[in-house]
Amino acid sequence: MFKTIADPADCEVRSVIRFLNPNNVKQSEINRQLIEIYGENVMTDGMVRKWVRPFNDGRTNVHDEARSGQHSVVSDDLVAKVNEKIGENRRFTIRMLCDEFPQISKAVLHENVTNRLNYRKR
């Protein structure tokens, strides 16, 4: 028995699928070989089948495609209003800003104040 490889990258497993697929290896055999090398929890048989289809259709990229995330509720205009509020009271807290801007969560507000506006606690 071989030593299993723990925590393989997703693209590594997909590369194995891409390598074995054109050699007329059955999907169930690909799954069996993946489990033998990477362990029981590497990928289900259904996921192997899901990845074989695009490779049969000509896909060559083994990496995930970029996905558009959820659109942010924080616009540049809203960030400018937050900056204006901070200018009115330099002794602000994130909690005070949350009361002024209830449409923005505390975490998102903190991220924008520290990363976009570059304010730091003193």
Question: pLDDT for 59-82, tens place per residue?
Answer: 889 988 777 666 667 788 888 999
Confidence tier at 46 by pLDDT (50, 70, 90)? very high
Measured in residues, the chain has a length of 122
Dmax over CA atoms of the chain, in Å, equals 69
Decide: pTM greater than 0.75. no
SS3 assignment, position 2: coil
SS3 assignment, position 75: coil
